[in-house]
Homo-oligomer: A and B are copies of this chain.
Amino acid sequence: MDRREFTKLSALALAGTYLPIDAYGAANKQIGYAAVGLGTISDIFMRACANSPTAKITALVTGHPETKGVKYSEMYGVPKTSIYTYETFDRIRENADVDAIYVGLPNSMHCDYTVRGAQAGKHVLCEKPMAISSAECRKMIDACGQAKVKLMIGYRVQYEPMWNQAIGIVRSGGLGQLESFQGGFFGQQPAGAWRLSKALGGGGALLDLGIYPLNAIRHITGEEPANFTAVLATRERSGRFSEVEQSMEWTMKLPSGILASCGCSYGQRGPSSLAINGDSGYLVMESAFNYEGVRLHGEVGGKQIELASTEKHPYQFKIEAEHFADCIRNNKEAATPGEEGLKDMLAIEAIYGAAGAPIA
């Protein structure tokens, strides 16, 4: 065993013993997150933690330590010594104030930083999509398992209260037997956005937006879709969509026979919605996947129903941050662990395959 191997093994051993169950025994001990990548989504996550009793930003990882790093360190009271670059990232291992990392990087960097975070002995809350291939997802799960750290994927919709109310209606039989879903999530990505780069995004709108109805359908039914059809289109010729598709529509069939059709796009406006149809009633979530303004309407037990969330952005991120903090504190598995991200990625690969445009 050479020095390098010894160091690695020691790190793993350390990680494995890093978290005695009572380490967070004090009820007011906040879980410390290092925000990895200080883009839009991390900005939201940090705001969400700012008024949380159980989660706190304790470190920053950025390519711009002097500007972004300093700005956010002052904003959230992070010591200057806890500002890291991507080069110094692995030294986060030595920072006892960091319990977990929040990976808010472009999709193609999720795997690398999750693995390195795990190897540094930190729990990992990684944004969706988990990665850009199922192989990467497996690598991330393995790395966290070996390091004995927890891995959670940021499926914020699974933590959203109005959604959980809807799912309660579905699971209590309010719609009868489930029959089908129709969903969609559409948006516009400006020219030059990293999401339009195949190297950074890994794929198009399916990975980033289509994953919402996909994950919701998998979550609600507890089933893994088996049969897929899909069709892609790029109408716009501006060059924005030279690397990833503009739009996609697809169908899925679940093992029980439940059907679904969904759409997504990086180059169109459209409703963010999911229709959940049963044999005796239905719910339409719209807007379904937005940061706030989640609403539902439909027919339950022969009666019209309509409900709207009044919670304010970034409440979904706050719930997420606190859920994972609770998991860390009480040594519980996250409700949306790495396996959840892997299952979505397997479906995404199958959908791209059905469209004749395999990504992996």
Contact = CB atoms under 8 A, between A and B. Distances in A.
B282 A258 contact: no
Which of A265, A267, A268, A281 is packed against the most chain B CB atoms within 10 Å?
Answer: A268
Interface residues of A, number: 51
Nearest to A179: B268
Given A265-B180, A270-B282, A278-B268, A230 B231 contact: no
A226 to B, nearest CB: 11
Given A179-B267, A229-B231, A259-B263, 9 more contacts: A177-B236, A179-B235, A184-B275, A186-B277, A188-B279, A233-B253, A251-B251, A261-B263, A270-B275
Contacts of A180: 186, 233, 247, 249, 263, 265, 268, 270
B261 A249 contact: yes
A257 B234 contact: yes
Contacts of A277: 186, 265, 268-271
B281 A269 contact: yes
Contacts of A176: 269
12 contacts: A176-B269, A182-B249, A182-B261, A184-B275, A227-B231, A229-B229, A233-B259, A249-B259, A267-B279, A268-B279, A269-B282, A284-B286
Main secondary structure on A side of the interface with B: strand
Given A231-B253, A235-B256, A279-B236, A175 B269 contact: yes
B269 A278 contact: yes
B253 A251 contact: no
A262 interface: yes
A278 B270 CA distance: 7
Interface in A253-300: 253, 256-263, 265, 267-271, 273, 275, 277-282, 284, 286, 298-299
A263 B277 CA distance: 11
Which of A256, A259, A260 is packed against the most chain B CB atoms within 10 Å?
Answer: A259
Q: Which 5 pairs of residues, A with B, have the shortest CB-CB distance?
A: A229-B229, A270-B277, A179-B268, A261-B261, A249-B261
Which of A180, A247, A275, A286 is packed against the most chain B CB atoms within 10 Å?
Answer: A180
A267 B261 CA distance: 17
A112 to B, nearest CB: 34
A352 interface: no
B261 A250 contact: yes
A246 B299 CA distance: 20
Contacts of A184: 182, 275
Contacts of A231: 227, 229, 251-253, 259
A248 interface: yes
Contacts of A253: 231, 233
